[in-house]
Structure 1
């Protein structure tokens, strides 16, 4: 469901030192932005930021970047960076289509994709964040032997994504069609995940490794 337009979102985010509207200038220089050489994890489609914010609080030795084209949601995520004083988080309101404009080769150590739009219609499937044209871009910015973590409630999206990852040369490390919370104690339950679990919808979870010869 589309959020109501938040006219304050962009002006407010422009005042936030942890939000970048001109992130292209940091391509290949994100370690300098963070001021350290810690691994950089990227969440694509971060929404209101629950996952990245909680991850950053748990792992202060990891740098996190969250991106989302929907500023009406991202505004809430960027507020949390300041509220929690998380110096290991940055955010960009960008379209994942242009990911290569913002990150250099092998600059990212892990990618998270949580409950992205399943785009069920055939003519729209190329918009999926797990579609091969996106995976090929991720392969460029990921370091060798890095992983993509993927969660969804949508069975068709998950099944077809398994093929996408395989066809693009990723190794499947985890393939779970019914993710039980007690089997993943470190799992961070996002707003969408909580909603789907209340509806007794099975959560699908996969981990895919970027293999390089």
Structure 2
């Protein structure tokens, strides 16, 4: 899908420092001081237009959320959602999450969400997949002991690859669905992509995994 450029996006993002964190590397080890209330921190890597993370923050006010997205023309829509919702338990980071250990210390994060990540289907691009072993190591380095990854995709190949990657890394598969929307899972909050793909009849895959 082609991204529509919004040349004004960066200026708007800079106008709302209460929502969009700048220089997050300076907050490593200090994220509990960023939010009004000290409570568990969940992060979404590739938050896109912010529907999922915003609705999660509404549904779970006892959890703090950070949405991470690099593209200013995308994350500015997430910012609009935050401005409208006026939620105290959610912030945004416009950074490249290729190395999250730059921004978080060990034990600062309780859960990582990976929703509809780029599948990078070519074998030579395997190392770019967010469920590749080097990324799993990074998540381990910032998560609490027995922290979790919650993963959703409509791409069967990526899902099968990810289950193998999780297992090879030694993660515990807590919950797996090969057809989320026809499962008994309660409280599912859809992303924009999820709604789009499911309307086309695509099956949605979901997994919850935990570090041992």
State the secondary structure of the residue aligned to 1:180.
Answer: helix
Structure 1 gap ranges (5+): none
2:13 is aligned with 1:5: no
* 1:40 counterpart residue number: 41
Q: TM-score, normalised by structure 2?
A: 0.96
Cα shift at 1:202? 0.7
* 1:178 counterpart residue number: 179
Cα shift at 1:35? 3.4
* 1:102 counterpart residue number: 103
State the secondary structure of the residue aligned to 1:163.
Answer: helix
Equivalent residues in 2 for 1:56-67, closer than 5 Å: 56-67=57-68
Cα shift at 1:182? 5.8
State the secondary structure of the residue aligned to 2:162.
Answer: helix
Which aligned runs of 4 or more in structure 1 are off by greater than 3 angstroms? Answer: none
Structure 2 gap ranges (5+): none
2:146 is aligned with 1:111: no
State the secondary structure of the residue aligned to 2:127.
Answer: helix
* Contact 1:176 1:205 survives alignment (8 Å): yes
Cα shift at 1:181? 5.0
State the secondary structure of the residue aligned to 1:61.
Answer: coil
- Distance in 1 (CA, whole Å) between partners of 2:182 and 2:95 is 31
Cα shift at 1:123? 1.1
Deviation sequence 1:175-205 (CA, Å, 0-9, x none) = 2111125622300011111111111111110
- Distance in 1 (CA, whole Å) between partners of 2:99 and 2:11 is 22
State the secondary structure of the residue aligned to 1:42.
Answer: strand
Deviation sequence 1:81-113 (CA, Å, 0-9, x none) = 111101110111111112111111110011111
- Distance in 1 (CA, whole Å) between partners of 2:156 and 2:208 is 16
* 1:187 counterpart residue number: 188
Equivalent residues in 2 for 1:154-169, closer than 5 Å: 154-169=155-170
* 1:153 counterpart residue number: 154
* Contact 2:151 2:208 survives alignment (8 Å): yes
- Distance in 1 (CA, whole Å) between partners of 2:23 and 2:82 is 18
* 2:55 counterpart residue number: 54
* Contact 1:181 1:187 survives alignment (8 Å): no
RMSD (Å) for aligned C-alpha atoms: 1.1
